[in-house]
Structure 1
């Protein structure tokens, strides 16, 4: 099931990139300060990623979150007590796992409605599969805000700000963002001190269907911030052969999934991989996909994890 979720997530990213070209509002993170009233002033009228304006009459007290990044942001903003429902995929923080579940790949509309939410936080990466449900919720006068997909650290900061204004937690957002920026700067300074560049390859699914991240992905932005050369030379998320990985000969292989037991050892034992520098130097590292793929408050932690995997001596 975890493998299916990984592959599905990759395909959703590809679909969103393609569909976004036809819709000027798709996946755009609006500057929240320009689109709503200051924090604490209600009612708010705010446009989501789908271009639909949502009126929020007062501070939401019963929120249903449909994606983990939204949930993590709400809890980090100290708005977790207002969360009454989350997706089946929510596993952080621990308190989120105790909330009512409203579905995973498909959402249980009856369950959502029964929770009597005064706000549903959806997400642009849910795609067309969620459109009909969102429409039904809105027909029932339940406010649904579609959170934009952040594709960079700066857009992640904008999304955190946006959600904070909706839930009246602007001061908390300012601190979260300041802490994230400080960690990013600290990690960059440690890597820069080494004065060395290494090549890394990241894989998001196991052989024989190995997927990786190239130009124009969040992984690439992290690599750029950390002076890492990406051995994936194409754009976007794409399937790659073992032969191509061997030819690129990365210094480090980053395994971005955990659905395969003992995957690090299995990667090392793949046919032909013994010639790769990453394998010869024991630099095949499993990293936490949630910290790296969920564009929320833990993203800076994800950057640090990547840095430690590629440049471990910078953190000793």
Structure 2
């Protein structure tokens, strides 16, 4: 009887082991199938900013990028080794400056073609000056993909994920976006914890007499909203617009943010503008210069740019 029970138990254990092996095999098969599907995602058809369905035959291996924000996204996605050419405006990361330069807002089409890329990425904001050249690239058999122009954090997140999708780096793109969102939340929490009083702020991107600032529907206005700062110029225009110096004086900001460094001694020049000696930011020496690229490019570093703006407005929250 004991022998029979032992034999039966052995059969039962064998059956369980066989069943387990079968399950493990099935799981492995599923994993292999999933990995195979990921590796064979091409040909891929994705709609770009122009509304065209772009067919990408295979995973891009030689990429030309015609926008600094796109370049930064590609390097953040660990695709620097696949980037063949960049614009003369690309200065981050440092590795990007070592790539072949293919022009600026007016790309050198012949040079791009000579590099034999299989994929060209361009921001929609550059279409006006580059459309004719892009047709030449398409005629040469090069896939051109137009990325939407981002004017907000959500649009920036979407663009990073879109670039990740067309380059087979979707998981990495989602990780970048998640890290950015965490950084934004951390900045907001620090300001909240510091219990600071709301401050009024003014930002300029050029010197007098043509002073340009950020208004409604600009990513800069969104930054001010995120950190709880009152932009004195928000109702004066849409996106970026030219503002009268008298309007700045009347707005009397607590902080003035300067987003450029091409004018020598600009901080002193601002203080000497007519009527500016009555502005709180001038009287209390709260004129702050920030990194224009860090606070302007709608790419992976935009959350770092938000932190720099927050430090300019509420420095005590980051001590």
TM-score by length of 2: 0.85
Displacement, 1:105? 2.7
Give 2:4's aligned residue: none
Displacement, 1:175? 1.7
State the secondary structure of the residue aligned to 1:261.
coil
Give 2:7's aligned residue: none
In the alignment, which of 222, 235, 238 is matched to residue 237 of structure 2? 235
In the alignment, which of 269, 273, 284 is matched to residue 270 of structure 1? 273
State the secondary structure of the residue aligned to 1:188.
helix
Between the aligned partners of 1:301 and 1:39, the Cα distance in structure 2 is 33
Displacement, 1:167? 1.2
Between the aligned partners of 2:105 and 2:122, the Cα distance in structure 1 is 13
Cα deviation per residue 1:1-57 (whole Å; 9 max; x = unaligned)? xxxxxxxxxxxxxxxxxxxxxxxxxxxxxxxxxxxx978611111111011222111
Give 1:226's aligned residue: 227
Residue 76 of structure 1 pairs with residue 88 of structure 2: no
Between the aligned partners of 1:256 and 1:48, the Cα distance in structure 2 is 31
**RMSD after superposition:** 1.3
Give 2:41's aligned residue: 41
Q: Comparing both chains, which one has the higher relative contact order based on Cα–Cα distances under 8 Å and sequence gaps of 6 or more?
A: 1
Give 2:192's aligned residue: 192
Between the aligned partners of 2:50 and 2:316, the Cα distance in structure 1 is 45
Over alpha carbons, which structure has the higher Rg? 2
Between the aligned partners of 1:191 and 1:76, the Cα distance in structure 2 is 28
State the secondary structure of the residue aligned to 1:200.
strand
Residues 243 and 311 of structure 1, relative CA distance in 2, 3 Å threshold: same
State the secondary structure of the residue aligned to 1:206.
coil
Displacement, 1:106? 1.2
- 1:244-255 correspondence to structure 2 within 5 Å: 244-255=247-258
Structure number having the greater helix percentage? 2
Give 2:167's aligned residue: 167
Give 2:100's aligned residue: 100
Between the aligned partners of 1:311 and 1:39, the Cα distance in structure 2 is 47
Between the aligned partners of 1:40 and 1:225, the Cα distance in structure 2 is 41
Displacement, 1:141? 1.5
Cα deviation per residue 1:131-180 (whole Å; 9 max; x = unaligned)? 11111111222100000011211111111111111111122112211111
- 1:295-306 correspondence to structure 2 within 5 Å: 295-306=298-309
Displacement, 1:298? 0.2
Alpha carbons 1:287, 1:305 under 8 Å: kept: yes
Between the aligned partners of 1:38 and 1:271, the Cα distance in structure 2 is 62
Give 1:57's aligned residue: 57
Between the aligned partners of 1:224 and 1:280, the Cα distance in structure 2 is 25
Residue 294 of structure 1 pairs with residue 297 of structure 2: yes
Displacement, 1:289? 1.3
Alpha carbons 1:86, 1:101 under 8 Å: kept: yes
Between the aligned partners of 1:149 and 1:156, the Cα distance in structure 2 is 8
Give 1:22's aligned residue: none
- 1:67-216 correspondence to structure 2 within 5 Å: 67-193=67-193, 194-216=195-217
**Is 306-315 or 272-281 further displaced after alignment?**
272-281
Displacement, 1:187? 0.3
Between the aligned partners of 2:125 and 2:136, the Cα distance in structure 1 is 19
Cα deviation per residue 1:234-258 (whole Å; 9 max; x = unaligned)? 2322111211111110000000111
Alpha carbons 1:39, 1:165 under 8 Å: kept: no
State the secondary structure of the residue aligned to 2:213.
strand
Between the aligned partners of 2:244 and 2:155, the Cα distance in structure 1 is 32
Residues 39 and 158 of structure 1, relative CA distance in 2, 3 Å threshold: farther
